[in-house]
Structure 1
């Protein structure tokens, strides 16, 4: 009875510790963290519609905000899902509640997991999709219930944003290669391929129902065209074609000598031209992008690879904690008028100082994980810990995939890589503890 009580109390203490580590920043803030996009997602939760540059699936995920509990309900769900995935990671490393607690304190207390778990944005699900995919690929011992849970969580996370799906597809392809090399089992590889296929059909199907168009990302061509702004590819092309065909982009040529964000989001930019239907922009963007790639395939590829490289090494809070009253106030006032005073008194709106050291600590933990994960993975492989080494290797592949999907195909921003780096911090912690506690005679299981 004493042992059972100790296990139960230890488990409870671990759950509470992880919950506190993941939730304390948003609780200290006094209101869910919000971003520029959050207002559109909240509006979409009530209307079922979002602008083409937002992810409709996440707006639907926020639908429970209409229930008692309001904006805190999705935050509780996000925190709970992160904790659940960390628990499954601890189990994969053959650890009990002490390892679970260590992972929660590392990912939630030292890295970016707590920032994004408390943010009304789909960003936290990028890491959930990655960790879920890695656990699916390396899973050889879990029960059927645990596998179904992993599949459901991974599918949900990938469904909520197209970039999450892109990384998942990349991991699925890597999984097929590893299966052919006999490094992982067939079940894990084919399961992840199946998840990617289902989600890859689900997102366009949702867009077909909501907007009458079967597409993965309704604003994708515009974002891709914007990647050609900074290196001057779009400006050079327009110099040649505008005299013959006056594209709408020709009127924005004064914006083509800086970053793509001014072209997209600046005053009078593509997404803020009320008199210009975005459907027309989408068609022209596809035409211009195709012409640029055909004319300069090497330069276009270089833009993508350079952006991915910059993104891989760019991570931090960025403008995640910036006051958002101007962007968010109208949505809160319209749908949650009783919460308006709480929103305006939140730490984020009062420019509180905690994010300064949260950002510094998160950057330090991120750099440490980028150094430790490859080193510890090699060490684990040399010690016969094949599954542990695979988890480390797949984590690095996923980080590179996220950098490619965001920095390579969209734009470079600190928060894009920070949203997934907590996975590397958790994996580095698990690898370090696993290696330190490994018994010489302990056999390693292989994914089946």
Structure 2
């Protein structure tokens, strides 16, 4: 009798610790911000913050995300981080639940492993759109395959979240649009989920709802642009960023050398002085500033982008594939967070003076942020996780097994490829673009490992 009592006490104590750990997860998910003493900032943060105050559109700076940040100003932006932390944990547990893998111990273990070994907590701790890029892939997947396994309220929440995420960044919208398009194409080729009575693996209603989030996100962005700038317009800047990548690959210099003898371009006098990188051209002290930046050079850059695609198709294709391949390998955490970011500091000082003191006191602004040690773990984990995705898909193909976890693995793989193509081809390879997505691969691989080696005797509520 005493043995049974001791076992009961031990089980109760274990359950208590699990629940305490689960309650602590929202704080651990934004632990980097607590350690920093202030939400993490990045060069782009200032551009988003300024949208409310400046009343005009800026290339690649979503007004929707700007409004989201603006409403958190009075709380020192901590409410934004709380939303990002809770949304992350909500989607992690909902994914486990939809795939019939939700157990408290498993959820806590996977969450802690992601916090330690991936960029996820750094993304959740930063005032930037990047956290929504990966989370939106999960929310889109759940909206499609969730069916009767999620409630009407959860479907509504997933719809709103996915639409908002799509509106925060054009690259995120592009990835989600590509996933929906592929879903519609492969739907007729996939069989029923568990039996003919349960319908297709990719229900038409789920795909329709997911596709409508793209429409809703686009309308949300256009409406926000009109509200803040008075213009019914899309956020500008796509061709300008693509121009920078083509310049970096040498295509712009070749185009100018081929056409300047016969045609007049503002850049012709500078064709032998172009910077080596897109970042130097767009954000450094280059002729881009001399010629009026996007206002003075935007149309010309768009013309060069369009015409160079027609003039050098093989070169463009090769450059695009190389950029995509390099982007897949650029997965280090923290790019842009441990450098001097005077634009963002200036925007906060100009428009949000109440935040200047806590911002200046943060570790980040005192050069105490270093990702070298972190990336000794994060980079290998990210690369191994991507290989793990391929192994999962290869195993499923070999055994002709297509369950929901395999579908999720395929979705994440396509998202990583789509993200690498869009970001690598348009902007050029950057670690930041890879890190914001690759944690999804780690999540899927952890789920597969826990399913294969976990204790299946543990009760779902354990």
TM-score, with length taken from structure 1: 0.89
Question: Which of 131, 134, 139 does residue 124 from structure 1 map onto?
Answer: 131
Matched, 1:168 2:176: yes
Tell me if the contact between 1:33 and 1:348 (Cα under 8 Å) persists in the aligned partners: yes
Structure 2 equivalent of residue 227 of structure 1: 245
Alignment partners' CA distance in 2, 1:224 and 1:128: 26
* CA offset digits 1:75-95 (Å, max 9, x no partner): 222122111111211212321
Matches within 5 A, 1:129-278: 129-140=136-147, 141-182=149-190, 183-211=201-229, 214-256=232-274, 258-270=276-288, 272-273=289-290, 276=292, 278=294
Tell me if the contact between 1:45 and 1:61 (Cα under 8 Å) persists in the aligned partners: no
CA drift at 1:401 = 0.7
Matched, 1:27 2:34: yes
Structure 1 equivalent of residue 416 of structure 2: 399
CA drift at 1:286 = 1.9
Task: Give the stretch that moved more between structures: 179-188 or 377-386.
Answer: 377-386
Structure 2 equivalent of residue 358 of structure 1: 374
CA drift at 1:380 = 5.5
CA drift at 1:62 = 0.7
Matched, 1:422 2:439: yes
Task: Give the stretch that moved more between structures: 215-224 or 114-123.
Answer: 215-224
Distance 1:242 1:34, change over 3 A: same
CA drift at 1:181 = 1.3
Matches within 5 A, 1:252-331: 252-256=270-274, 258-270=276-288, 272-273=289-290, 276=292, 278-324=294-340, 326-331=342-347
Distance 1:201 1:2, change over 3 A: farther
SS in 2 for 1:229: helix
SS in 2 for 1:86: helix
Distance 1:184 1:164, change over 3 A: same
Matches within 5 A, 1:84-103: 84-94=90-100, 95-103=102-110
Alignment partners' CA distance in 1, 2:49 and 2:353: 14
CA drift at 1:28 = 0.6
Gaps of 5+ in 2: 1-7, 191-200, 458-462
Distance 1:252 1:89, change over 3 A: farther
Tell me if the contact between 2:46 and 2:347 (Cα under 8 Å) persists in the aligned partners: yes
Distance 1:334 1:260, change over 3 A: closer
Structure 1 equivalent of residue 197 of structure 2: none
Task: Give the stretch that moved more between structures: 9-18 or 31-40.
Answer: 9-18
Alignment partners' CA distance in 1, 2:455 and 2:287: 57
* CA offset digits 1:310-359 (Å, max 9, x no partner): 10111112533314363333233334434433322322122225533222
* CA offset digits 1:209-249 (Å, max 9, x no partner): 54455544401111122221123221111113223333222
* CA offset digits 1:402-426 (Å, max 9, x no partner): 1111111222111111011111111
Alignment partners' CA distance in 2, 1:212 and 1:224: 26
Alignment partners' CA distance in 2, 1:181 and 1:6: 49
Distance 1:175 1:329, change over 3 A: same
Alignment partners' CA distance in 2, 1:168 and 1:49: 27
Alignment partners' CA distance in 2, 1:352 and 1:98: 34
TM-score, with length taken from structure 2: 0.86
Tell me if the contact between 2:396 and 2:402 (Cα under 8 Å) persists in the aligned partners: yes
Gaps of 5+ in 1: 441-448
Structure 1 equivalent of residue 4 of structure 2: none
Tell me if the contact between 2:386 and 2:441 (Cα under 8 Å) persists in the aligned partners: yes
SS in 2 for 1:62: helix
Alignment partners' CA distance in 1, 2:94 and 2:229: 37
Distance 1:208 1:85, change over 3 A: same
CA drift at 1:269 = 4.5
Aligned length: 437
Choose 1 or 2 for highest CA Rg.
2
Matched, 1:371 2:379: no
Structure 2 equivalent of residue 59 of structure 1: 66
Alignment partners' CA distance in 2, 1:439 and 1:16: 24
* CA offset digits 1:126-164 (Å, max 9, x no partner): 111112122223323222222222111111111111110
Alignment partners' CA distance in 1, 2:16 and 2:187: 40
CA drift at 1:18 = 2.3
Tell me if the contact between 2:57 and 2:225 (Cα under 8 Å) persists in the aligned partners: no
